Amino acid sequence: MDLNYSADEMAFRDEVRTWLQTNLPTDLQQKVQDNEALSKGDYLRWHKILAKKGWVAPMWPVEWGGTGWDITRKYIFDEECGYASAPQIISFSIGMCGPVLQKFGTQEQKQRFLPRMYHGEDFWAQGYSEPGAGSDLASLKTRAERRGDNYIVNGQKTWTTLGHYGDWIFCLVRTNPEAKKQEGISFLLIDMKTPGITVRPLITLDEGHEVNEVFFDDVVVPAENLVFEENKGWTVAKYLLGHERLGSGRVGVSKTKLARLKVYAAEQTNGRGGRLLDDVRFRDRISRTEVDLMAVEITNLRLLDSLRNGRNETVDVSMLKIEATKVMQSLAELTMLATGPLAAPFRQVGTPAGVPIDPYVARLAPLYANLRKVTIYGGSSEVQRNIIAKARLGL
């Protein structure tokens, strides 16, 4: 096992770092650093900058605009973007639906959708979870009935991330209610401008509008928008979820937040005249989180080594998902503790008495609340532990 970068990979890292320093818009970088919500325009602006460079879809086949990078270069690129506080590329098109179409789509579907995804001409959303069908996704009830050349879709999706920005949505729908629950599901591409679609915001505890409910009332979807075969959507869904979990490490982002935590802990007093960073108990908690982050990084590198040697380590992906999301939550909690009352819930940026407040600190409480979700999406931690138990322990 080789966990070190080669000289060529180190040179590539330097190239990416230099390019980001020159081309990442300062206003977008500042928004990410301050945990400020990004608009649809923000996401698409950065998407188009990367597309112009040819780096927006690194793991796509070269014929569709991919870079030809191996998995290690993709990992290096993602981590450098994290260190630079670049916006995330919303993965619903590039990271999820795009790879699905490349594997399961018809040539007509590829020609129609992939170039638009690559150039950021459409914003995509994911229609998976429903009330009563989250971790147990196969229990979904949204129905698609075939009538001639169309499907008629009725039902509801929930927790639809950024669905209010969506131009298109890919959905799992039930096309055979009589079959076993995994065997009667299909994968449809739906234009969100179609009559009968209603998007209703779900305002979360952090007072943010990130997720939504999406209702389908007699929505007409052309049958040509079916991906793969009718009633074979579960095969597509499993393939897509593998792509979702692979990007869950986010070591660069977490290292940046760890460094900021240490700065705040060094600035705050511990109530006894010394620095909070010198408090043994608090420093121990930071150290434990830092060790966990190191373990995540090593797990990431071990997974990279497996993938570049042709091994498919699904258990490592599950372990990575569990530990990386725990680290994200721990960093948010510790930073809240380090900043104390300055991180009061929902405090607006600005101040009593005109004293400015660090925008990052002002948004810590909403960030803390928002990060409760990361141990749930992409397969909850409980589901991941079951996967590990079956694969490694034979339970």
Which residue ranges make up each domain of the chain?
A: 7-89, 124-231, 248-393
pLDDT digits (tens, 9 = 90+) for 91-124: 999 999 999 999 999 999 999 999 999 999 999 9
| Token pair in block for residue 251 | 């070591």
pLDDT value of position 135: 76
In this predicted structure, the answer to whether residue 246 has a pLDDT above a threshold of 70 is no
pLDDT digits (tens, 9 = 90+) for 61-73: 999 999 999 888 9
Q: From CA 145, how far away is CA 260, in angstroms rounded?
A: 52
> Which residues is 203 bridged to in the sheet?
209
Q: CB of 180 within 8 A of CB of 197? A: no
CB atoms within 10 A of CB 156: 20
| Range from 142-146, 240-244, 263-267, 287-291 carrying the lowest mean pLDDT | 240-244
Nearest CA to 243 out of 43, 39, 57 is that of 57
Q: Where are the beta strands (DSSP E) in 110-158?
A: 124-127, 143-147, 150-157
Q: Give 213's pLDDT tier (boundaries 50, 70, 90).
A: very high
Q: From CA 141, how far away is CA 131, in angstroms rounded?
A: 9
CATH superfamily of 248-393: Butyryl-CoA Dehydrogenase, subunit A, domain 3 (1.20.140.10)
State how beta strands 209-222 and 197-203 pair. antiparallel
Tell the burial category of 356 from Cβ atoms under 10 Å away from its Cβ (0-12, 13-18, 19+).
exposed
Q: Give 341's pLDDT tier (boundaries 50, 70, 90).
A: confident
Instruction: Specify whether 145 is catalytic.
Output: no
Pick the catalytic residue: 79, 244, 290, 323?
244
Nearest CA to 122 out of 184, 190, 69 is that of 190
CB atoms within 10 A of CB 229: 12
Domain at 124-231, CATH class? mainly beta
In this predicted structure, the answer to whether residue 242 has a pLDDT above a threshold of 70 is no
